[in-house]
Amino acid sequence: MTTTITADTAKTTPAPDKGFIPLPEKTARALATVGGALTVLSAFLAWTWTSAFPGDLTVYGYPGGLQWLALIGGALTTAFGLASYGVKGFRWLAPSGADAAIKLSALAAFAVIWYTVIAIVVKLGAIVDLEPGAGIAALVSLLAVIGAFALPFERPSLEGPDPDDTGWDKFKHEAGNKWTTVKASFASGPATPARVLPSWAEILLIAAVLGLGLTVFTYGITTPYQELFIGFLITTGFGAAALNKAGLMGRVTTLTARHRNVALVGAFAAAAAFPLTQTDDQYANLGVNILIFATVALGLNIVVGLTGLLDLGYVAFLGVGAYTAALVSGSPNSPFGVQLPFWAALLAGAAASMIFGVLIGAPTLRLRGDYLAIVTLGFGEIFRISMNNLDGVSGPDITNGPNGVANIPNINLFGFDFGAAHTIAGFTIGRFANYFLLMLLITLIVVLVFRRSAESRIGRAWVAIREDETAAEAMGINGFRVKLIAFALGATLAGLAGVVQAHVQYTVTPDQYQFANAVPPNSAFLLAAVVLGGMGTIAGPLVGGSLLFLIPNKLQFLGEYQLLVFGFALIILMRLRPEGLIPNRRNQLELHPEAAAPTVLGKAGV
């Protein structure tokens, strides 16, 4: 039975614009704004009496730990509330309308406060462990949410159910309608045109945004305990959604698109500043691993995002690079017994990866679609198992089998020892910070390679192949050759990252390069980083990769449920935002055709 409407169930007229909670609009708006302000104040109260809960939430007059996050949520709510009143000085906050942003930021404060309260009760064991401050915070944040959800919104026009439907069909229909309504309540309007700023002011703005980005990222990476990290995820998740709905993200995108090189240089300067903000090397270690993972994801984006080749064994190319570097860099386990200088090892790793890329690509790239995925999956596993077997028992002794190539010496570049801490201009840069900066350079190379190749004849050919291979061939593109170039280029970039990885981790073992594993990097996570972040963009895989590395690292209490949670999170995200966190504008148009379609696109649509 189709769901076409019969004559007697006409479209129900859209309900008059009102919120989910029956309150007059003025009251609702005031409640949300004041609730937000009170949430800010409540962050200054003591929430618990003992410092057994991490973060020291016991002090009146000074927020600590999770209270800062609550404060930020409350402040955002208030600011968007004031913007919705049109208060001078706040209007710029919401070029696309403030109501959806109020809802999301109120949710941010609410979620983080209630999470904290529950976490305190669970951790300390009883409700009496709460101070009245916690109750006040919970109450005012609830009020802000009530106010926010009482704000009227434009109701979508819904279709009534088909009277012939069975109960289940009716239920599905009703649920679908409710979902449409909920989505409509978070809709935001088109952005008002931006005020024209002089170019230096725009560049300053970009710098400010990058500074903010660095602060947020550093905060997330250095969260010392997992409650704070979960709070951080909640706040940044809802907060970023609020900024997006308010239209601020769109503004920033326009700005960075206009000053692309400034944004690129600025972003790398900000990233380079990260190890300088650290006093010990612990988080630089995390940082360099994130960079390696994100860079490899960006390399994969050439293969998957631009050319549309599903590669399920990509981590093997990282492994080829790492093993090559390990074997030629003077490890005692290496049968070759040579110690090439770093630049030579880097070239060797990249070249070996490229050769493997061509060897794998040449026979398989004549296949299309699923076949390629299967073959690459097989290659990834073959690589790992071969490395396992080259141990002198099952084969020649080259890789030392499952024990891996160990004791890889640190890089020494022009007398600069990457293994030692250096003090430059008062900043102490430890071992991992050294590698972080080196890896950042490699990331910059990969970003440039991605950008320049994407915006050229070959990049257009890749996209054409992705869009329609037959038509692309009819346009004179040698599909096999172009795909092979993409495949080999992707492999080479992964190889570069692999060389650094070998040195950072001292040891290269086959188990680091699995198809799926609870810890990144592995092929499944790499692919997820690309899809999650946004296919075909530069920032997408970098952000997606950072998140996918950070989350398993910080939430180790999940233990063996990690992959389960990860799977659920991926499903939810793909349901809500199939185009990825940082979408290519083209994908966004493809997946949300109903969204206002500014048909004119800028360069490469990124």
Q: Contact between 485 and another protein (CB under 8 A)?
A: yes
In the block, residue with structure tokens 């793909």: 574
Query: Residue 17 or 455: which CB sits closer to another protein?
Result: 455
Exposed/middle/buried for residue 98 (C-beta within 10 Å: 0-12, 13-18, 19+): buried
> In angstroms, rounded to a whole number, what is the distance separating the alpha carbons of residues 418 and 302?
30
Q: Contact between 446 and another protein (CB under 8 A)?
A: no
Q: Which two tokens stand for residue 500?
A: 């650094």
Q: Contact between 572 and another protein (CB under 8 A)?
A: no
Q: Contact between 582 and another protein (CB under 8 A)?
A: no
Q: Going by C-beta distance under 8 Å and a sequence separation of 6 or more, which residues neighbour residue 388? A: 401, 402, 510
| Contact in structure between 227 and 55 (CB atoms under 8 Å) | yes
Q: Going by C-beta distance under 8 Å and a sequence separation of 6 or more, which residues neighbour residue 420? A: 410, 431
Q: Going by C-beta distance under 8 Å and a sequence separation of 6 or more, which residues neighbour residue 576? A: none
Residue list 211-250, contact with another protein (CB under 8 A): none
> In angstroms, rounded to a whole number, what is the distance separating the alpha carbons of residues 378 and 564?
24
Query: Residue 23 or 306: which CB sits closer to another protein?
Result: 306
Find the length of the chain.
606
Q: How far is CA 494 from the centre of its chain?
A: 19
Q: Contact between 471 and another protein (CB under 8 A)?
A: yes
Closest distance between another protein and the C-beta of residue 456, in Å? Answer: 3
Query: Residue 468 or 511: which CB sits closer to another protein?
Result: 468
Paired with 130 in beta bridges are: 48
Q: Which stretch binds another protein (CB under 8 A): 26-34, 89-97, 183-191, 476-484?
A: 476-484
Instruction: Please report how the helices 132-149 and 99-124 are oriented relative to each other, as an axis angle in degrees rounded to 10.
Output: 150
> In angstroms, rounded to a whole number, what is the distance separating the alpha carbons of residues 78 and 141?
11
Interior angle at CA 553, CA 547 and CA 557, nearest 5:
120
| Contact in structure between 32 and 108 (CB atoms under 8 Å) | no
Query: Residue 30 or 310: which CB sits closer to another protein?
Result: 310
> In angstroms, rounded to a whole number, what is the distance separating the alpha carbons of residues 392 and 456?
47
Query: Residue 208 or 591: which CB sits closer to another protein?
Result: 591
Per DSSP, which regions of 113-250 are E strands? none
Q: Contact between 7 and another protein (CB under 8 A)?
A: yes
Q: Which stretch binds another protein (CB under 8 A): 4-12, 328-336, 378-386, 511-519?
A: 4-12
> In angstroms, rounded to a whole number, what is the distance separating the alpha carbons of residues 594 and 156?
13
Residue list 488-507, contact with another protein (CB under 8 A): 489
Paired with 329 in beta bridges are: 339
> In angstroms, rounded to a whole number, what is the distance separating the alpha carbons of residues 293 and 441?
14
Q: Contact between 261 and another protein (CB under 8 A)?
A: no
> In angstroms, rounded to a whole number, what is the distance separating the alpha carbons of residues 216 and 194?
25
Q: Looking at 477, 484, 538, 551, which residue binds another protein (CB under 8 A)? A: 477
Q: Going by C-beta distance under 8 Å and a sequence separation of 6 or more, which residues neighbour residue 200? A: none
Q: Looking at 254, 394, 478, 556, which residue binds another protein (CB under 8 A)? A: 478
Q: Looking at 464, 528, 551, 606, which residue binds another protein (CB under 8 A)? A: 464
Closest distance between another protein and the C-beta of residue 409, in Å? Answer: 31
Query: Residue 18 or 170: which CB sits closer to another protein?
Result: 170
Query: Residue 259 or 460: which CB sits closer to another protein?
Result: 460
Q: Contact between 484 and another protein (CB under 8 A)?
A: no
Query: Residue 485 or 497: which CB sits closer to another protein?
Result: 485
Q: Contact between 472 and another protein (CB under 8 A)?
A: yes
Q: Contact between 586 and another protein (CB under 8 A)?
A: yes
Q: Looking at 91, 259, 460, 592, which residue binds another protein (CB under 8 A)? A: 460
Paired with 428 in beta bridges are: 423
| Contact in structure between 288 and 278 (CB atoms under 8 Å) | no
Q: Looking at 235, 236, 329, 587, which residue binds another protein (CB under 8 A)? A: 587
Q: Contact between 9 and another protein (CB under 8 A)?
A: no
Q: Which stretch binds another protein (CB under 8 A): 12-20, 131-139, 448-456, 518-526?
A: 448-456
Closest distance between another protein and the C-beta of residue 484, in Å? Answer: 11
**Cβ atoms within 10 Å, residue 177:** 16
Q: Contact between 309 and another protein (CB under 8 A)?
A: no
Q: Contact between 474 and another protein (CB under 8 A)?
A: yes
> In angstroms, rounded to a whole number, what is the distance separating the alpha carbons of residues 57 and 65?
7
Query: Residue 435 or 450: which CB sits closer to another protein?
Result: 450
Q: Contact between 394 and another protein (CB under 8 A)?
A: no
Closest distance between another protein and the C-beta of residue 605, in Å? Answer: 8
Q: Which stretch binds another protein (CB under 8 A): 275-283, 337-345, 537-545, 586-594?
A: 586-594
Residue 49, classed as helix, strand or coil, is coil
Query: Residue 493 or 502: which CB sits closer to another protein?
Result: 493
Residue list 188-217, contact with another protein (CB under 8 A): none
Q: Which stretch binds another protein (CB under 8 A): 34-42, 295-303, 374-382, 473-481?
A: 473-481
Q: Looking at 26, 88, 195, 457, which residue binds another protein (CB under 8 A)? A: 457
Q: Looking at 425, 470, 560, 575, which residue binds another protein (CB under 8 A)? A: 470
Q: Going by C-beta distance under 8 Å and a sequence separation of 6 or more, which residues neighbour residue 105? A: 36, 73, 76, 77, 80, 238, 239, 242
Residue list 151-170, contact with another protein (CB under 8 A): none
Query: Residue 385 or 475: which CB sits closer to another protein?
Result: 475
On the CB side of 444, CA atoms within 13 Å amount to: 17
Q: Looking at 25, 174, 397, 467, which residue binds another protein (CB under 8 A)? A: 467
Q: Which stretch binds another protein (CB under 8 A): 250-258, 280-288, 462-470, 515-523?
A: 462-470
Closest distance between another protein and the C-beta of residue 326, in Å? Answer: 27
Closest distance between another protein and the C-beta of residue 156, in Å? Answer: 24
Write the DSSP assignment of 113-139 as a string of letters.
HHHHHHHHHHHHSSGGGB-HHHHHHHH
Local structure of residue 421 (DSSP, 8 states): -
Q: Going by C-beta distance under 8 Å and a sequence separation of 6 or more, which residues neighbour residue 180? A: 156, 158
Closest distance between another protein and the C-beta of residue 342, in Å? Answer: 22
Q: Which residues bind another protein (CB under 8 A)?
A: 2, 4, 6-7, 448-449, 452-453, 455-461, 463-464, 467-468, 470-479, 485, 489, 586-587, 589-590, 597, 599-602, 605
